[in-house]
């Protein structure tokens, strides 16, 4: 985390230094404020879009009292406010968390509740609460913000050093996307590491890693079946189209992401499922 975080900070400082060299020190306040606003807007929009894309609705405390009790207990133990609980029909068993310590939201799918037993569900909930307690959502949004800022800076660099013709315009788009992708590789490395940390925190919270390991096995099999049965797409709440359960943006937030193959693993938001299960049971 320290190494990758330092690399991301280095990318950002290079952009600030370049802006200073090109436009003078007067650009620094504008650059810093603009960076904060960009990250803030991405955070707000990302949170809203994730909830809307799955049609999340309030999880009734009367209908699911045990889930509320488990979340309340572990939230108190982790030193965070009890997050808002929501339920969604995702087409696959999964869960994700958005928000920060004082305003967190945990979303569980109907399929997850139906699939897991009490101990397994508690493990998944503890994992999502750990993400909120560790500020992982904010950390990832900050990393994505840095990637966007560096990509935008690369585009401006191409335009400012070129002839400002149509060729430079398209070159700037290509260079910006490539640079942003390179930075995102480091951001995704942080994401994979934070999944291991959340697993470990959940194991400590419930006193045993096996329930979460069993849950991950069931979730993995459920996601594979869901992907196979959703080739033609399915509709969730409000008539929203589903393709393989959840869209790519939400999949990055979920406890399980169905990435496979060498390249997909390099750019995956989650570590290999078998390694997570092995660590939980070690």
Sequence-ordered alpha helix ranges (H) in the chain:
2-23, 27-53, 65-78, 110-115, 118-133, 136-161, 166-206, 210-229, 248-251, 262-266, 273-281
Task: Estimate to the nearest angstrom the gap between the alpha carbon of 47 and the chain centroid.
Answer: 10
Strand duo 103-109 + 234-235: pairing: unpaired
Q: Under a CB-based contact definition with an 8 Å cutoff, are residues 194 and 231 in contact?
A: no
128 counts as catalytic: yes
Phi, psi of 55 (to 5 degrees): 65, 40
> For residues 280 and 39, what is the distance between their CA atoms, to the nearest angstrom?
33
Catalytic one of 120, 122, 128, 195: 128
Contact 98, 253 (CB under 8 A): yes
| Enzyme catalytic residues | 128
């Amino acid at each position: 985390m320290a190494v990758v975080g330092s690399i991301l900070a280095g990318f950002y400082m290079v952009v600030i230094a370049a802006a200073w060299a090109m436009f003078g020190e007067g650009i620094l306040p504008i650059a810093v404020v603009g960076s904060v606003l960009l990250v803030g807007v991405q955070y707000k929009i990302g949170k809203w879009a994730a909830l809307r894309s799955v049609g999340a609705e309030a999880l009734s405390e009367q209908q699911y009292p045990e889930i509320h009790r488990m979340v309340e207990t572990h939230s108190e133990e982790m030193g965070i406010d009890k997050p808002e609980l929501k339920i969604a029909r995702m087409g696959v068993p999964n869960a994700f968390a958005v928000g920060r310590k004082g305003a967190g939201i945990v979303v569980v799918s109907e399929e997850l509740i139906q699939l897991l037993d009490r101990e397994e569900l508690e493990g998944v909930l503890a994992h999502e609460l750990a993400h909120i307690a560790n500020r992982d959502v904010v950390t990832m949004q900050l990393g994505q913000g840095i990637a966007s800022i560096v990509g935008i800076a690369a585009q401006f660099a191409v335009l400012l050093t070129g002839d400002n013709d149509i060729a430079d315009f398209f070159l700037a788009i290509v260079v910006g996307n490539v640079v942003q992708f390179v930075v995102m590789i480091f951001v995704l490395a942080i994401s994979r590491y934070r999944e291991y940390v959340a697993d470990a925190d959940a194991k400590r919270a419930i006193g045993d890693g096996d329930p979460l390991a069993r849950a991950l096995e069931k979730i993995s099999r459920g996601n594979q079946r869901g992907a196979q049965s959703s080739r033609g797409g399915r509709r969730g709440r409000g008539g929203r189209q589903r393709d393989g359960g959840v869209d790519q943006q939400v999949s990055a937030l979920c406890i399980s992401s169905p990435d496979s193959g060498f390249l997909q693993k390099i750019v995956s938001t989650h570590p290999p499922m078998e390694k997570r299960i092995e660590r939980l049971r070690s």
